[in-house]
Amino acid sequence: MVQAKQLASVYEKYDHVYVTFAGGVADEMKKSAKVRTVPDLMRRNPLSWIAVVACSCRAALVERPDVVISTGAGAVVFFCVFAKLLGAKLIFLESMAKVTRPTWTARLLYPFADLFMVQWPGLLKFFPKAKFLGRLF
């Protein structure tokens, strides 16, 4: 979420909403921004996957975004896919913390992304159509 907020100058002049997993960070953000939450998948409970899919589908249907910018939070994979199926453009920025191996989120969303960016050249072997930007933050 930190990287997404650092990109605010790109999207702040447009109507926007943050989609993230429920918790303290989301609660704090809700004080100053529009936030939709989905359950955290970290629990590995199969029922939580159903809840994430349902919440993600609902959020995509209600928000109907034109563009989704994701910085890699696994909790929003389903939201990104649903938004893409509804016609949104998907921009994905892989975490700068991933130097030699990509995140599972990146692997899952790469086929759906209209623009896919990495911050380390070593990740281009996993994502040959990605744009290498260097470290942004």
pTM over 0.75: yes
CA-CA distance, 112 to 121, in Å (whole number)? Answer: 21
Domain encompassing residue 87: 2-132
> Tokens 């994979």 identify what position?
77
Domain containing 35 — which CATH number? 3.40.50.2000
Over residues 48-69, mean pLDDT: 91
Contacts of residue 106, Cβ cutoff 8 Å, sequence gap at least 6: 72, 92, 94, 98, 116, 123, 126, 127
61-120 pLDDT per residue, tens: 999 999 998 887 777 899 999 999 999 999 998 876 666 788 889 999 999 999 999 888
pLDDT band of residue 25 (cuts 50, 70, 90) is confident
Q: Is residue 104 part of a domain?
A: yes
Q: Do the domain assignments include residue 45?
A: yes
Q: Which tens digits make up the pLDDT trace of 32-47?
A: 889 998 887 766 677 7
Q: Is residue 137 part of a domain?
A: no
Q: How many domains does the chain have?
A: 1
How many other CB atoms are there within 10 angstroms of residue 50's CB atom?
A: 11
